[in-house]
Structure 1
Amino acid sequence: MLTESAVPETAPVCPDHAGEPSTGTCERCGRFVCAKCRTAQAGVCAACSARQVQALPHTRGRTRWASVALAASAVLAIPVAILNLWLYLRFDNGSPSLEDAESFDQLNALLALPSLLTMLATVVLYLRWLRLSVKTANALGLSNESTGWATFCWFIPFANLFKPLEVVRDLWQGLGGPPERQSMLTAWWATWILSNIISNVGNAFARADTANPTSLSVSLLAGILSEGLSIAAAVLCIRVIGDIESLLVARRAEAEATMTGATL
């Protein structure tokens, strides 16, 4: 019978790196991991990390649809801006004629429904893209952002003035986006915020006194500027989405190749 001192001591070793002592176990499957195991997520083995990334759908489809919706919203903003400019240029002695005002109202009503539907589609498609992009970055170990917070912060007063930009900027930085191009993110957000502020100002003047030529002219000028800024914001957002998609594709390919090799 062996005494206690004669029982050999065996320390757990990593199954992927022979001879390397284990530093812990995978939080998902329980297998041993060592210091050489570099996976997308700390505390998760290479096999589980690879399965998490590979189980997610690619973002290219949502990227394409979000970009199409943004482009459609930019296109629809053009006739709205032109209509505002047309009525402003038709001012005679400080105000438009009754006939011109009626034509403006009719044309504006025709554009209202397509603009509303396009805006709703853009919101849904953009948020679907953002949610999957953040989820993929989390699986790659490149972000710790909550997908729920990243989505719903757009609808929380005051937080929606800065948090959406932080989410996209953190996603950009985590994926290794070049710092010199981060100014594009700032430009996108600035034009978006200014567009909404000026639009609200124009609507306030329009409601204040529709019979007042000064209120009407300020409302029309605000509408022109707001639509122009919204077009610029849409174009910049499309570029931001495209850049993040390129970074996601590259990081995902690198991670899948590394993790697949580690599991062989």
Structure 2
Amino acid sequence: MQDRQPLHLTPLGGLQRWISRALIAAAVCEVGYLYISLRLARFVDERDSGAFAEEVSLQRADDLDNTVNVVGLSYIAVYVSAFILSGFWIYRAARNAAIIAPRRDRISPGWAVGWHFIPIANLFKPYQAIREVYNSSISPDRPIDTPLPKLFIIWWLAFLSSNGLGTLSGEIASSGSARAFSNALIVDVVMFPIALIALWLWHTIVLAISNAQDRGITPIPEISSTNPGSPQGGING
């Protein structure tokens, strides 16, 4: 075997810290979103039961509408920021992984991001890309299709579930009826802990891979699929 050469990897620590901040902000927005959903459901119930005069109802509706707009715009802005930052991180981490353990059959850095936008394929291809990145980051000798710790599948299922429930909630609430708001609130309550789990686990994964790559792992000229290295410094399953 030839001597290993020093790597020129793109440092991930700085980007990882920005992602951490964005994910914390996203968690705060999830709390705010649930809070405003509960307030909105309570207002609809009180309005329909005639708990206050029409003038008071209109004023409260206007105040609540302003709050909903602020929370909604903040929610969208934070999640878009987190998504963009994560996209940059995925691309750089995948590019580093390809340097650490070059293989022709691995998902390219561009497609590691691009698969998120392809229907059906976005249900499993992004997970495959992260699996390849993690395995190569832990050890250049490790096959890229090595099964991941359970934490990863929990993260991916929570991510898909929270996205699906968020879409479902919006569809239910779009009719504007009191019953629709009530049903949407039930979905929001179910979605809330799942979304927080997805955010926390994604932070854990980003941190683990960033730390592994920033230690400066060196590649080998060829990868042997029959003699995988043991995972070191990764997430224990």
In the superposition, the TM-score normalised over structure 2's length comes to 0.76
Matched with 2:206 is 241
Pair 1:226 & 2:179 matched: no
Query: What is the CA–CA distance in structure 2 between the aligned matches of 1:197 and 1:161, rounded to whole Å?
Result: 11
Matched with 2:54 is none
Report the residue type matching 1:239 in the other structure.
Answer: T
Structure 1 pair 236–96 and aligned structure 2 pair: CA distance change class (3 A): farther
- The answer as to whether partners of 1:63 and 1:245 remain within 8 angstroms in 2 is yes
Query: What is the CA–CA distance in structure 1 between the aligned matches of 2:96 and 2:113, rounded to whole Å?
Result: 14
Matched with 2:86 is 126
Instruction: Specify every segment of 5 or more residues in structure 1 that has no aligned partner in the other structure, as ranges.
Output: 1-35, 40-45, 260-264
Query: What is the CA–CA distance in structure 2 between the aligned matches of 1:187 and 1:95, rounded to whole Å?
Result: 42
Matched with 2:224 is none
Q: How many residues align?
A: 207
Pair 1:116 & 2:76 matched: yes
Deviation of 1:226 (Å): 2.6
Moved more, 97-106 or 59-68: 97-106
Matches within 5 A, 1:22-101: 36-39=1-4, 46=5, 50=6, 53-54=7-8, 56-89=9-42, 91-92=45-46, 98=57, 101=61
Pair 1:199 & 2:171 matched: no
Deviation of 1:176 (Å): 3.0
Moved more, 179-188 or 239-248: 179-188
Query: What is the CA–CA distance in structure 1 between the aligned matches of 2:185 and 2:25, rounded to whole Å?
Result: 22
Structure 1 pair 73–152 and aligned structure 2 pair: CA distance change class (3 A): same
Structure 1 pair 202–94 and aligned structure 2 pair: CA distance change class (3 A): farther
Deviation of 1:101 (Å): 4.7
Match of 1:167 among 108, 111, 129: 129
- The answer as to whether partners of 1:95 and 1:213 remain within 8 angstroms in 2 is no
Report the residue type matching 1:216 in the other structure.
Answer: F
- Percent identity over paired residues: 21
Matched with 1:148 is 110
More RCO (CA 8 Å, sep 6+): 2
Query: What is the CA–CA distance in structure 1 between the aligned matches of 2:17 and 2:163, rounded to whole Å?
Result: 25
Query: What is the CA–CA distance in structure 2 between the aligned matches of 1:95 and 1:200, rounded to whole Å?
Result: 29
Pair 1:186 & 2:148 matched: no
Give a deviation string over 1:4-31, Cα, whole Å, max 9, x none: xxxxxxxxxxxxxxxxxxxxxxxxxxxx
Structure 1 pair 93–146 and aligned structure 2 pair: CA distance change class (3 A): same
SS of alignment partner, residue 184 of structure 1: helix
Moved more, 145-154 or 86-95: 86-95
Matched with 1:24 is none
Query: What is the CA–CA distance in structure 2 between the aligned matches of 1:103 and 1:225, rounded to whole Å?
Result: 27
SS of alignment partner, residue 255 of structure 1: coil
Deviation of 1:85 (Å): 2.0
Moved more, 114-123 or 96-105: 96-105
Query: What is the CA–CA distance in structure 2 between the aligned matches of 1:120 and 1:231, rounded to whole Å?
Result: 16
- The answer as to whether partners of 1:69 and 1:121 remain within 8 angstroms in 2 is yes
Report the residue type matching 1:37 in the other structure.
Answer: Q
Deviation of 1:105 (Å): 2.5
Structure 1 pair 181–89 and aligned structure 2 pair: CA distance change class (3 A): farther
Deviation of 1:86 (Å): 2.8
Deviation of 1:64 (Å): 1.2
Deviation of 1:190 (Å): 1.1
Instruction: Specify every segment of 5 or more residues in structure 2 that has no aligned partner in the other structure, as ranges.
Output: 52-56, 222-237
Matched with 2:233 is none
Deviation of 1:38 (Å): 4.7
